[in-house]
Chains A and B, each alone.
Chain A
């Protein structure tokens, strides 16, 4: 090596491939160090004791987790059905020829979309006190379906309106040219197609409702009406330990993760079908 640069300590630039290799090596090193630090320095027995105490896991599961899970599903599905029905009506109102219908729907949607669901729940807990004669049927299920459904319907209405508007105008014209009334065209031609394109976003709304159903905990409930959050929280308070809440959280994931996977699959299918 008798080149003139021999003595000077100039570095040759690395080839792009070598550079990429080095950057990767650094990234992996950082990752390994972080994991190692977590393994060495964390107090694992303590962590396990707080979050995953085996006897409490067992106690949570055996003392009514299934029933709480069932209640969460009942609260959510009832609200979802209510939300779909009211949301469809609102969506059709927003697309109405008649101005006042459009305005009413718009005000409803913007109002309840802009409000924290918690406030709606709080209002519903106070309503029977404010109107002494008032009783909501199927209490507490009816109350929850109403409160959660009112908030959900505002979101669902916008999704449904989007789905209806995504159906090409020619579909309605074809239906009307065959003699269908506008109602028949909506029911037989537009809505079936709209619901197909709306299925992924509707499933997303369902996931949101599953999570929002946790707000039920602020309503005074008797034990057999507890849903997952309230149930986990009571047990966690009794035992001064987080484990029951962790178990309840996992129970939520048992509902929501399959739904997320369903959404992904529906979206892939929708891409193929069009």
Chain B
């Protein structure tokens, strides 16, 4: 059996006195879609940001495609080329159009020519359903459209792993669907995805595996039907009850 695409071993991360990740062991197979759920402050975004080293782990190792990113001699910029990331707040470059947002890193990082970069960018914008918005600036796009441009921008680098950090949390409710649809399509095409999300329906339907985190550790993981459908751990039950039925929560 080939090694998993992402292998995380005994990962710890502290911000000062705040011990956010307390020993995470965790793998993502090639082609797998993993959703990470959990209460805010549980460390799930930090875990995701450790995978492309936007956050430097305090200890432990992060291997992506067999390469140890926590090795001080690792060329992290080269490794990040193959790891796409989509942020909660989109983080599009406001001084670039949708098209040039998708071209910039291709040209500066992959050294692709303008023509090739443009063709790849166009293809990926079409892929996320923005055929008619190529020349629009981010300020002229809705949140859902901006997030789809952000996905196209990451895809333009031909990543073999996509990280999603609460991609729909900043969106108006009626715009969530268009982004989730694009992500679902990506999953069906076989993209390896690690998704931090609060969208339980998406996790249940699209994920191959759901990971529940609380207090900086993985509490429970498994098939979505098990973790979301019939959780074993009391903390998972309590969290899901609060998320799935928020009108009947008794303040503790």
Contacts and interface: CB of A to CB of B under 8 A. Distances in A.
A192 B95 contact: yes
B201 interface: no
A179 B78 contact: yes
Contacts of A188: 104, 108
Contacts of A177: 52, 54, 80, 83-85, 154
A262 B119 CA distance: 39
A176 B94 contact: no
Interface residues of B, number: 26
B105 to A, nearest CB: 4
Interface in B122-159: 139, 150, 153-154, 157
Contacts of A171: 91, 93
Contacts of B91: 168, 170-171, 173-174
Nearest to A187: B108
Contact of A174 (B77, B87, B157): B87
B106 to A, nearest CB: 9
Interface string A149-176: 0000000000000000000101101111
B109 A184 contact: yes
Contacts of B94: 193
B9 interface: no
Nearest to B49: A173
A179 B104 contact: no
A178 B157 contact: yes
Interface in B53-93: 54, 77-78, 80-81, 83-85, 87, 89, 91-93
Q: Which of B77, B150, B154 has the most CB of A within 10 A?
A: B77
A173 B108 CA distance: 16
Nearest to A167: B94
Interface of B: 52, 54, 77-78, 80-81, 83-85, 87, 89, 91-95, 104-105, 108-110, 139, 150, 153-154, 157
Given A179-B78, A179-B109, A193-B93, 9 more contacts: A174-B87, A177-B85, A178-B80, A178-B104, A179-B110, A180-B108, A192-B95, A196-B95, A273-B139
22 contacts: A168-B91, A171-B91, A173-B54, A174-B85, A174-B92, A174-B150, A175-B93, A177-B54, A177-B83, A177-B85, A177-B154, A178-B81, A178-B154, A178-B157, A179-B77, A179-B78, A179-B109, A179-B110, A180-B109, A188-B108, A193-B93, A193-B95
Interface of A: 168, 170-171, 173-181, 184, 188-189, 192-193, 196, 273
